[in-house]
A and B are shown apart, each in its own frame.
Chain A
Amino acid sequence: METLVQQVVNAVSLGGVYAMLALGLAIVFSIVRLINFAHGEVMTFGGYGVFLALAFGAPPLAALATGVGAAVAMALALERAAFRAMRGADVVTLLITSFAVSEILKVLFQNGISARPVPISLPQSWSGTWRLGELTIGVAPTVSIFVTLAAFAGLTLILRRTTVGVAMRAAAEDLEMLQLLGVRANRVVATAFALSGLLAGVAAVIWTAQRGSVDPMMGFFPVLKAFIATVLGGLGSLGGAVLGGFAVGFLEVMAQAFLPPALAPYRDAVVLAAVIAALLARPDGLLPARRGERS
């Protein structure tokens, strides 16, 4: 029982990171129809922000804040330099653009910083544990879960209670109508990218704190999982992205923990088969977007 509860904590922790990344993808997609595969490199850049801040002697909390800020800055820079010029292009063109941006950034990280992973050494107490009855739970996963919940609560507030949030939700419904109403579309789209960068930055901070290193490929694999999560949740649906992220995280951890040894090498195949089965039952995703972007 203790093991099961511990694995649930693990699943929520991992699912939270996937959910944050999936939400970042979904926010941008819902407004400009861009599946941003360079989102992983935004996350990686956030990780390098943490590394460089620590290398220059910043205290750990300031380093983490620098990482989040770096990711936001990178997301805004990509929007301005690469994606604004492509706005209105079809989905495939945008997808290829995002792949190109992703590859360019990876090569820049490799040659400009290091092809090797670089270490992130945070205070020992951050890797400690605390006890809840018979359970021993890691500090890092616990913080990860609380930060994830706080990020979702903050995002919900922004989307529902602020003018720019309402404008973003309106843009997701009909960007042209929003422009006809006199709202500055560039600012709305840039805000969407900034929020997406913010989520990637928070994910980067949690990821680097838990994994202890940053490398040029760091963001690629979690964003791939996050993309699967957005499709599972319903492409373009913000709630679906969160649900999909937690579902993928839960499936991965439970498959790792409880698949019999003979099936263990097929873990990823089992997880993806479960995702396909869910999509066969609900082709538009678990919580489809109102506009009905089919997976």
Chain B
Amino acid sequence: MELVCPAGNLPALKKAVDEGADAVYFGFQNATNARQFIGLNFTDKRANEGIEYAQSRGCKVFCAINTYPQPNGWREWTAAVDQAASLGVDALILADMGLLDYAAQTHPDLSRHLSVQGSATSHAALRFYQQQFGIKRAVLPRVLSISQVEDLARQSPVELEVFAFGSLCIMAEGRCYLSSYLTDESPNTRGACSPAKAVRWLETDQGLEARLNGVLIDRFQAGEKAGYPTLCKGRFAVGDETYHALEEPVSLSTLDLLPKLKALGISAVKIEGRQRSPAYVAQVTRVWRQAVDAAGAAEPDSVRMQAWAAQLSQLSEGSLTTLGAYHRKWK
């Protein structure tokens, strides 16, 4: 089972490699990838250096080009595919059917992974992508329960990669347009959800307000921890109640499920967080390296498990983790 870690920049990439990632994934400095953050991602030169660093140490490199090009951006996206191919990455992570087709025709020997943004939630959908575009692997959306993942693992025609740790998307990825409804950017169009350029913090008599393009996402009282206003994690009013109507600000952690995922034959576990610091990537990779290695053991080591869970918890949003949709009770 591969451990796939985020590389938002070169220092993070090196940390992930040093701490034992089997693969790292990165994107270019434009809207072609789903983590377009200011100051993040790779130039050609940096990518070259990172790929050299990783591959010479036995670590694979995947390139995420997983947003949806429109006609006026088509050439920028195909250029990113060509660039990744010429840099010698081990696989492309793609979502758009047109771009998958372009990659399959233009670079047939370069592995194609279906991004989580491709929204494949059934073995039939996986078969469609495999037959039409020859995908080798698919990253599953975070909306599936463990029993659904189990069904898929049994019938999937391709390798499966699942999210193990990091931010939790509660909507089926690739088909969530909430961000572009409130701002002019979405993960699909610009690789951004609740973009920082649209965020305003305001101290008011009613508390600290977090607004996204003017829309009040949450209001924090003194002593409350104020998290980034990702729009689906704010407090809203439904009926007479004001609460986290969509989701609490928590992170996903599937540490407890790891032995099960391994037994199901899941090919890779993925750590989310290209936007996080190199220090974060180092810590998370270190813990998960140990956990993945230990997952095959006959006797689970509950003491070590607890220690890992505690370390991960400290690194999580609001210091809270959840099994998310993997666990039925979440729903």
Q: Do the two shown chains form a genuine complex with each other? A: no
